[in-house]
Structure 1
Amino acid sequence: MRIDWDVPITMDDGLVLRADIFRPDADGRYPVIMTHGPYAKGLSFQQAFTFAWSNLEAEHPDALAGSSNRYQNWETVDPEKWVPDGYVVIRVDARGSGRSPGYVDIFSPREALDYYTCIEWAGVQQWSNGKVGLLGISYYAVNQWQVAALQPPHLAAICPWEGATDYYREFTHHGGIPSDFLSQWFPPQVEAMQHGVGDRGARNPVTGVPVAGPETLDPDVLEKSRADVVAEMLARPVLDDYYRDRSADLTKVTVPTLSATNWGHHLHTRGGFDGYNAIPAEQKWLEVHGQQHWVEFYTDYGLRLQKRFFGHFLKGEDTGWADQPPVFLNVRRVDGTFAQRAENEWPLARTDWTTFHLDLDRQELTTTPPRSETSVDFAALGDGITLWTEPLSVETEITGPASAHLTVASSTEDADLFLVLRVQDPNGIDVTFPGAMDPEGAIAFGWLRASLRATDPALSTPYRPWQTYTESQPLTPGEPVGVDVEIWPTSVIIPAGYRLGVTLTGRDFTFPGEGPWPEAYGVRMRGNGIFVHTDERGRPQTVFAGTTTLFNGASLLLPIIPVSG
């Protein structure tokens, strides 16, 4: 293939971004697969993300087969697997990142406009057939939703693979609770790749040039050339225009879309479902899988799916995509395997929405309402309350979004609520599933800051409350309030003899036991991956280390799928 390094693309304000372009040897016009983001287009996947690469090598060798892997780049496609099939692969360093100068402001309107310009530039090049597709993971999926809402004329199809659509509800806050993620992720993955790090940073193993160069600037100069996203988040506890400007306007996404998401990711799960349901595109599909965050994008399973989609929309080939079901699920089993199933909609129309009660008298999770008005106190930073069902008499599938209705009080003016759905085997051992970067996660999570409990009735459903997050309503110490908690979509088939459980705490859930627990970004992962909420600037102990009271009458609304046939 032909490779053009650091190709200039001029923005509307005169700034020049740099792109690496991988093209077929033969002259002609080809469709384009593009990514645009801050992770440095020349950074080696193998060297920078050894933990993920080692996992692919050991457990998913098909992901690396058939390629020299010389051009592998974190969360983007491998050119060696796409260019021979007649695609042009383009990687663009976003403004202020990698080899592109400028001011770094992640997910900003300015960045989305730059992406629009890059798409339109690619669509009119002599080697382009005029059709541009977007395909990438995480950051490279989130900004697909954003730029698609701008409707660039040469954008022909998008496949946001484990992205997000709501900067507040998914990226910076969980249920209004500020997440530590920005503080953990931004320095090593964005700051370290900022244009001007130059000789202090990594080098492209193929070209030898600094991936964040060619200049090497003083750290104080770099600091002034990037937005302080953590400070912005901490200064903005409620949802305002800052967050709205960094969230996709899904009502304007009309391009053919394949939304691929993961059952077990505290950043990426929710947006894949929301994006699929909210966009008005006439041609849209949803795919849901498991495994760690990076796995299925690179495996033969993911590659086949992607090429069938883009072959249909960018090349006009008969790939069989015309027969693709609107929804395709990899339903999780407790042994780590999956039941693959085609569906027509999300949530599933045949769902038997079932209420499970948290019976504080009997200390059980049951479908029978409690008979008293008992209440239970727990230390907000302690282990909380855990209730289990009796062993299930029949195999039970839970697939869909869920919710909890609780009545709570706090000894302080607020309370953070962390709700976790769990499964135990007949020996009382937790069943875990790979989630995000954590090899052991629970089956579902929900969060809510009680002072941000106000919902929008027009957008809420029984199974998915929609908090506005625009107004804080502090609690009166000791006075109970009703709250509805959104539980992110999940899926699991629970065998007979196993038990379903729920844990409610005032801090991040952790699985019991001594470990050893894996670490990433300095976080010991015990069920939440790296997505924890420990920064006292957003959770001062004077407010969130009190005593929480749960009153009888609490319930879960769970999506039970009837056994077919």
Structure 2
Amino acid sequence: MMTIPPGLSSDGDLIVEKDVLIPLSDGHVLCCNVFRPRHVSGKVPPILAFTPYGKDSDVAVDFKRYWDIVLRDHPEIVRGDSDGRYLTWEVPDPQRWIPDGYAIVVIDARGTGKSPGFYEMMSPLQTRDFYDAIEWAGVQPWSTGKVGLLGVSYLAVKQWQVAALQPPHLAAMIPWEGLFDHYRDFYRHGGIFSSAFLKLLWDTQIAVNQNGNGASPYRDRFTGERSTGAEINPKLLPGNLSNVYSAGQQHPFDDAYFKLRTPIGARIKTPFLSAGNWGGLGLHLRGNIAAFIEAASPEKWLELHTDTHFASMYLPQAVALQKRFFDYFLKGKNNGFHNEPPVQLTIRDPRGPYRRKADTWPLPRTRWDNFYLDATSMTMSTDRPASSSSTAYRALEDEISFLTAPFAADSEFTGPVAAKLFVSSSTTDMDIFVTLRAFDADGTEVVFTGANDPKAPVSQGWLRASQRKIDPARSTPYRPYHPHDDSAKLRPDEVYEVDVEIWPTSIVCPAGYRLALTIGGKDFERPGAEGLMKGSGLFLHNDSADRPATEFGGVNRIHTGADRQSRVVLPYIA
């Protein structure tokens, strides 16, 4: 155990202030840790991280199952200037930032860690708390008044939310892999309840860190004390937080619950670098891109990368990018960042990824190619099948796949993807799970390191057929937008036209490779896969109350050809 006690201490060049109280506008307080440089005589810009996972939690102990993978794949993260002693979950590493003249402020969200109060995930009250924290940091005697925000996942989501409140001292932010639309990105993919991840998040990362939880295993690495503060009567604890899993069950549509949490893009005017992960299927990828499109900020960049969700923010090249962005916007260094093209992305090529910069999203050379499904041959191609046909599958047992012919030349597809399908079901509803996959010339599936799943497919999309209505004003042929505000049940065996949003992707198919569109009525699982990660990562839709077998376990059918031209729209880069 290390010996940095509460209060003001120092560790080499770091000044460490633990358990600093931030006053809130309603009279309550938040508890934070402040790390700042000892060698700087003047003021420094603060970078804030607002977390529900514990400012004093130990990433190497409390999140060991994830952190061990990071250290296995990227041991350089805790080499050189950092040994990881101050690392907490998804928070910037103070040892990487303090030598460059920044302060890091790590804040326990209300109701978590050592911050007392009622906890409700992603709530507007929590966002207002973050606003107050930004304004507090902006006027500290050691602060330049230019506040930055940085963090992964939850810590990124809160950035989108608080930026919409336009705190005066907020100067720049880097939401690293953070969802934007709380209904479509997180709770309900295409209207289907993302139950498994919400339950895991609740059980293993939220409730365990509730303020006053005397049963929490989390310990402050410096003092050995419980990092959730003084114990509260266990009879009172259940009333001090809102159950996120139950909330997901109670809100099947995009109602006021979600609209309170999804920011209004026109309100976001802060300069930002939105960093997404191509492998972030089921949680963050869509949000990083949607926020980049919808936010009103005149100074915004979209960065898309690979690797795991747990490692990507800490990699040396990622930290260098973050520092260059903040050096420009928080320190005023004339490093030319403002001249960088607004889109910077990794192109996923099975032979080796490479980087590309562009001026627009979707990319300037995009050609939208329709690949038509043919149920007779179970293929898809740019030729329309003349004759009508159909193919069926048992929703909870089977899946079907349509394959392209081998590509004659290298073919790149980077951008949004969508499917238009003509479907029917033997029951009154159907959940449509669509997976875009790639296969090499020998027929072996090409997989990628996902944000969570180590063998992720090219992309995925979902839709509940009863919520098939689209908003024409917000839809494009390559990105349908469903309002998810009503339900229109199916008539058994009647054919319906539906549009499925498939999350954006990047894939180069070398000559001889094929693409496949796999359609089923349950979460995609790769044949023979074992354990939890079977192709869809943690983002499973297995709540029986949301998907009763009597309604979602029928025989589903895909119709193709003639006047029912089922197809997938792919972003071919010419």
TM-score normalised by L of structure 1: 0.96
Identify the residue that residue 65 of structure 2 maps to in structure 1: 51
Contact (CA 8 Å) 2:371, 2:567: kept in 1 or not? yes
Higher deviation after alignment, 12-21 or 313-322: 313-322
Contact (CA 8 Å) 1:308, 1:320: kept in 2 or not? no
1:221-370 → structure 2 map (5 Å cutoff)? 221-265=236-280, 266-335=282-351, 337-370=352-385
Q: 1:345, 1:222 → 2: CA distance? A: 49
1:558 alignment partner AA? L
Q: 2:336, 2:89 → 1: CA distance? A: 29
Identify the residue that residue 16 of structure 1 maps to in structure 2: 29
Q: 1:22, 1:242 → 2: CA distance? A: 36
Q: 2:479, 2:403 → 1: CA distance? A: 23
Q: 1:276, 1:417 → 2: CA distance? A: 27
Contact (CA 8 Å) 2:202, 2:243: kept in 1 or not? no
Q: 2:459, 2:225 → 1: CA distance? A: 44
Q: 1:399 aligned to 2:411?
A: no
Identify the residue that residue 191 of structure 1 maps to in structure 2: 207
Identify the residue that residue 444 of structure 1 maps to in structure 2: 459
Q: 1:252, 1:239 → 2: CA distance? A: 20
Contact (CA 8 Å) 2:358, 2:364: kept in 1 or not? no
Given candidates 207, 212, 216, the residue that maps to 2:228 is 212
1:115-134: CA deviations, max 9, x gaps?
00000000000000001000
1:373-522 → structure 2 map (5 Å cutoff)? 373-513=388-528, 515=529, 517-518=530-531
Query: What SS class does the counterpart of residue 119 from structure 1 fall into?
Result: helix
Q: 1:414, 1:120 → 2: CA distance? A: 49
Q: 1:88 aligned to 2:100?
A: no
The Cα shift of 1:318 comes to 2.5
Identify the residue that residue 521 of structure 1 maps to in structure 2: none
The Cα shift of 1:198 comes to 3.5
Q: 1:534 aligned to 2:542?
A: yes
Contact (CA 8 Å) 2:426, 2:556: kept in 1 or not? yes
1:47-92: CA deviations, max 9, x gaps?
1222332222222222222212110111010101101111110001
Q: 2:200, 2:429 → 1: CA distance? A: 26
Q: Between the two proteins, what is the percent identity of the paired residues?
A: 44
Query: What SS class does the counterpart of residue 293 from structure 2 fall into?
Result: helix
1:70 alignment partner AA? R
Residue 199 to residue 183, structure 1, CA distance change in 2 (3 Å): closer
Query: What SS class does the counterpart of residue 474 from structure 2 fall into?
Result: coil
1:3 alignment partner AA? V
Q: 2:92, 2:378 → 1: CA distance? A: 50
Contact (CA 8 Å) 2:179, 2:283: kept in 1 or not? yes
Q: 1:322, 1:251 → 2: CA distance? A: 21
Higher deviation after alignment, 104-113 or 229-238: 229-238
1:291 alignment partner AA? D
1:247-276: CA deviations, max 9, x gaps?
112110001010000111120000110111
The Cα shift of 1:219 comes to 3.6
1:40 alignment partner AA? G
Contact (CA 8 Å) 1:292, 1:434: kept in 2 or not? yes
Q: 1:325, 1:349 → 2: CA distance? A: 12
Q: 2:20, 2:215 → 1: CA distance? A: 21
Given candidates 42, 49, 52, the residue that maps to 2:56 is 42
Given candidates 539, 555, 558, the residue that maps to 2:567 is 555
1:110-160: CA deviations, max 9, x gaps?
000000000000000000000100000000000100000000000000100
RMSD over aligned Cα atoms: 1.1
Q: 1:88, 1:207 → 2: CA distance? A: 22
Q: 2:414, 2:398 → 1: CA distance? A: 27
Q: 1:407, 1:221 → 2: CA distance? A: 52
1:476-509: CA deviations, max 9, x gaps?
1111110000011000111111111110000001
Contact (CA 8 Å) 1:309, 1:321: kept in 2 or not? yes
Residue 318 to residue 52, structure 1, CA distance change in 2 (3 Å): farther
- Consecutive unaligned residues of structure 2, counting only runs of 5 or more, are 1-13
Q: 1:423, 1:110 → 2: CA distance? A: 44
Q: 1:58, 1:20 → 2: CA distance? A: 29
Contact (CA 8 Å) 1:198, 1:211: kept in 2 or not? no
Query: What SS class does the counterpart of residue 54 from structure 1 fall into?
Result: helix
Spell out structure 1 runs of 4+ moving beyond 4 A: none
The Cα shift of 1:199 comes to 5.6
1:4-54: CA deviations, max 9, x gaps?
111011111111110000011144211010011210000011112223322
Q: 2:443, 2:291 → 1: CA distance? A: 37
1:413-452: CA deviations, max 9, x gaps?
1000000010011221111001121110000111000000
Aligned length: 553
2:101 alignment partner AA? G
Query: What SS class does the counterpart of residue 77 from structure 1 fall into?
Result: coil
Q: 1:201 aligned to 2:217?
A: yes
- Consecutive unaligned residues of structure 1, counting only runs of 5 or more, are 519-523
Query: What SS class does the counterpart of residue 435 from structure 1 fall into?
Result: coil
Q: 2:45, 2:398 → 1: CA distance? A: 54
Identify the residue that residue 136 of structure 1 maps to in structure 2: 151
2:556 alignment partner AA? T
Higher deviation after alignment, 383-392 or 80-89: 383-392
